């Protein structure tokens, strides 16, 4: 199995997919053997300033704790790690959209985590997209973005609920509908109330929500608030002074306003109604 | 053609960008002149003023509703016009209400704010008219038929595929991965956010030739080379766009939201002529992932790439220049 890299970089940098390609060896993807960190170092673009956010050690510690705590159930690590990774690695969306950052984290800092979490026993392989791939597929970017899309202001509790259901994050992250914050929060509530829970039910509900969105604009009756850039800016600026992310309680995210509760509640009722009346493929019984 | 179970307007909303200004880190505001946006290209280029850093942009908009929206006997009430700013790369969705210019007017206007830290490249602007129809709130009764693009870095409002061209010596590049390609004049890298051409300046005289703008034969050779590179780029971007498709549970491919989507929409009509782009994408995807037909498609992909690269024009101009040169030598 892949082990902790012998030589860890001190700081996160940028690793382009083209530069990363030679390191995605068959042995790595089969989970047999990692690469020599020395050569990888040469092709990484170093981060440009002495921003404390790019320090690798706190991230590495966090990832090791996740592997330890969930050694018997690796899929549950997602719900634990997503909010903590988000709080430990404080990024703007512009920064988080840069796949090169995630490539470096996966290949140079924690290839052992990627292997541990995503090794498929059926194919005896790790999908290469887990190291360098679309933001909703790559091992770490999918967690960070799940936390970003499902957090309610500074509250990470909805992230835990969403990530606890693999089907929800898998189908939600590749859809635009959760770009509307009240919709994302309402989906979590539908899930928490036990109304749609299985993969097929969730997939069916999201398809129905998308279909209705052709003729109904949810923003019209469930508006969101504009985001306050200062709250996020302050949170990011404090990264250097922040204590390490709590392991037993949830961290706090940026001090942004939550999605308007009346919008979330209106949509929750709307989706429940939709789920119960619309012909949804995969629903257990026609109630 | 979509069918709606309620009455709506059958013509689109016309959306225009009327102004753009940047808020700078010191709190001042720079109003961009009209060269920052292009109506025919439906594009706003926020990089025109060459500010290294800006915090946010405010874009002024005006929308004209199609006839009938304000009719007294219209079957809707509570009409509103919303503008959506969306970005598929950063999952941003920002929605603002426009204000009606005067009671009964079909002209609406307003502004939308865009935060620099929420975007990497391009965002889209669209408008929708919503109203309560048959007691259903939030019904969409008309929308824009083409989005505006807001490019946060471009210094010219041009649509289409954006390409990053970088000139470096491969052999001694600090980007060690380029060293493996030291024996070729250029490579194409489609793995990044926008496709890039890396030009190897170790080939002596190459970058001079590429920068040549002095007329004469150098210029023609330059054009020919650029068209050759463009052919490579178009071929590479098409393959990488197609190779990276998301697939719905029912197996049908989804159009990507970034440049990959633009490339596919642009090239598919030449690759699978006669089919609507959605159908063309399904066909081509089936050919690539199925047992047969992928090899046969290569000629069409190459054809589509050569056409876009303007290779025919560049070649004929180079040939004509050569003829003239030979004639001159003989005279």
B176 closest CB neighbour out of A43, A100, A214: A43
Within this chain, do residues B136 and B171 fall inside the same structural domain, yes or no? no
Assigned domain for B62 exists? yes
Q: Which residues of A touch B191 (CB under 8 A)?
A: 16-18, 21, 132
Half-sphere exposure of residue A82: CA atoms within 13 angstroms, side-chain side:
30
DSSP letter, residue A281: T
Within this chain, do residues B51 and B188 fall inside the same structural domain, yes or no? no
Assigned domain for B329 exists? no
**B81, closest residue in chain A (CA to CA):** A220
pLDDT interval class at B150 (50, 70, 90): very high
Q: Please judge whether B113 and A226 are an interchain contact, meaning their C-beta atoms are less than 8 angstroms apart.
A: yes
The residue among B151, B173, B191 that closes a domain is: B151
Q: Which residues of B touch A224 (CB under 8 A)?
A: 95
A94 closest CB neighbour out of B84, B120, B257: B120
Domain that holds residue B40: 14-151
Q: Whole-angstrom Cα distance, residue A153 to residue A184?
A: 12
The residue among B151, B184, B219 that closes a domain is: B151
Within this chain, do residues B140 and B177 fall inside the same structural domain, yes or no? no
Q: What is the ipTM of this complex?
A: 0.92
Within this chain, do residues B123 and B271 fall inside the same structural domain, yes or no? no
Q: Please judge whether A97 and B139 are an interchain contact, meaning their C-beta atoms are less than 8 angstroms apart.
A: no
B2 touching chain A per CB within 8 A: yes
Give Cβ neighbours of residue B49 (< 8 Å, ≥ 6 apart).
B22, B30, B32, B36
Angstroms from A93 CA to nearest CA on chain B: 5
Query: pLDDT (tens digit, 9 = 90+) per residue, A127-147?
Result: 999 999 889 999 999 999 999
Q: Whole-angstrom Cα distance, residue B120 to residue B195?
A: 14
Q: Whole-angstrom Cα distance, residue A235 to residue A255?
A: 7
Helices B311-330 & B294-309, crossing angle to 10 degrees?
Answer: 60
Within this chain, do residues B108 and B193 fall inside the same structural domain, yes or no? no
- Per-residue pLDDT of chain A (287 residues), as tens digits, is 788 888 899 999 999 988 898 899 999 999 888 776 667 888 898 887 789 999 999 999 999 999 999 999 999 999 999 999 999 999 999 999 999 999 999 999 999 999 999 999 999 999 999 999 889 999 999 999 999 999 999 999 999 999 999 888 888 888 889 999 999 999 999 999 988 888 888 888 998 998 899 899 999 999 999 888 899 999 999 998 888 999 999 999 999 999 999 999 999 999 999 998 877 665 655 44
Within this chain, do residues B78 and B188 fall inside the same structural domain, yes or no? no
Count of structural domains within chain B: 2
The residue among B125, B151, B177 that closes a domain is: B151
SS3 assignment, position B190: coil
Angstroms from A269 CA to nearest CA on chain B: 14
Beta bridge partners of B136: B133
A208 touching chain B per CB within 8 A: no
CATH number at residue B105: 2.60.40
For residue A179, the tally of other CB atoms under 10 A from its CB is 19
* Strand ranges (E), chain B: 14-23, 29-32, 37-38, 43-45, 56-64, 76-87, 92-97, 99-100, 107-115, 122-133, 136-143, 148-151, 164-168, 186-189, 196-200, 246-247, 253-254
Domain extent listing, chain A: 1-144, 151-224+259-287
């Amino acid at each position: 199995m892949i082990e902790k890299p012998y030589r860890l970089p001190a700081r996160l940098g940028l690793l382009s997919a083209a530069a990363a390609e030679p390191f995605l060896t068959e042995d790595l993807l089969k989970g047999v053997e990692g690469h020599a960190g020395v050569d990888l170092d040469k092709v990484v673009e170093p981060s440009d300033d002495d921003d404390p956010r790019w320090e690798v050690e706190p991230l590495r510690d966090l990832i090791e704790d996740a592997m330890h705590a969930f050694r018997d159930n690796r899929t549950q690590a997602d719900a634990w790690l997503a909010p903590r990774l988000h709080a430990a690695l404080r990024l703007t969306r512009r920064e988080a959209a840069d796949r090169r950052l995630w490539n470096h984290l996966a290949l140079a800092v924690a290839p052992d985590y990627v292997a541990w979490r995503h090794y498929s026993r059926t194919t005896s392989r790790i999908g290469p997209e887990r190291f360098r791939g679309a933001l909703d597929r790559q091992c770490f970017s999918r967690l960070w973005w799940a936390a970003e899309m499902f957090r309610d202001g500074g509250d990470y509790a909805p992230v835990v609920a969403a990530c606890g259901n693999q089907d929800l994050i898998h189908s939600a992250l590749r859809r635009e509908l959760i770009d509307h914050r009240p919709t994302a929060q309402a989906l979590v509530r539908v899930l928490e109330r036990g109304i749609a829970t299985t993969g097929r039910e969730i997939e069916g509900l999201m398809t129905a929500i998308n279909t209705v969105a052709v003729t109904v604009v949810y923003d019209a009756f469930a508006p969101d608030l504009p985001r306050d850039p200062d709250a996020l800016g302050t949170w990011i600026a404090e990264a250097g002074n922040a204590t390490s992310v709590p392991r037993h309680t949830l961290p706090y995210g940026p001090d942004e306003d939550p999605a308007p509760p009346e919008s979330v509640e209106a949509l929750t009722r709307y989706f429940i109604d939709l789920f119960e009346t619309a012909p949804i493929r995969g629903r257990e019984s026609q109630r | 053609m979509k069918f709606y179970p309620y009455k709506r307007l059958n013509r689109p909303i016309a959306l225009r960008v009327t102004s753009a200004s940047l808020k700078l880190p010191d709190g001042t505001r720079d109003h961009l002149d009209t060269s920052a946006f292009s109506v025919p290209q439906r594009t706003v280029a926020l990089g025109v003023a060459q500010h290294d850093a800006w915090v946010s942009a405010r874009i002024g908009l005006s929308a004209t509703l199609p006839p009938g929206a304000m009719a007294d006997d219209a079957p809707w009430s509570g009409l509103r016009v919303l503008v959506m700013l969306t970005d598929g790369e950063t999952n941003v969705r920002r929605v603002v209400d426009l204000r009606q210019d005067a009671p009964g007017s079909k002209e609406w206007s307003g502004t939308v704010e865009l935060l620099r830290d929420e975007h990497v490249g391009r965002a889209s602007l669209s408008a929708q008219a919503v109203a309560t129809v048959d007691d259903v709130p939030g019904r969409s009764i008309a929308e824009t038929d083409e989005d505006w693009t807001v490019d946060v870095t471009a210094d010219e409002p041009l649509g289409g595929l954006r390409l990053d061209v970088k000139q470096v010596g491969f052999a001694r590049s600090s980007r060690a991965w380029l060293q493996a390609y030291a024996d070729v004049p250029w490579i194409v890298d489609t793995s990044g956010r926008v496709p890039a051409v890396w030009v190897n300046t170790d080939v002596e005289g190459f970058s001079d030739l590429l920068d040549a703008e002095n007329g004469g034969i150098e210029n023609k050779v330059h054009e020919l080379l650029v068209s050759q590179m463009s052919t490579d780029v178009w071929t590479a971007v098409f393959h990488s766009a197609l190779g990276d498709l998301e697939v719905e549970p029912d197996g049908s491919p989804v159009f990507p939201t970034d440049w990959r989507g633009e490339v596919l929409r642009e090239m598919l009509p030449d690759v699978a002529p006669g089919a609507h782009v959605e159908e063309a994408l399904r066909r081509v995807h089936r050919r690539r992932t199925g047992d047969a037909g992928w090899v046969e498609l290569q000629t069409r992909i190459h054809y589509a790439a050569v056409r876009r690269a303007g290779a025919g024009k560049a070649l004929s101009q180079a040939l004509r220049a050569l003829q003239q040169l030979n004639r001159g030598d003989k005279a």
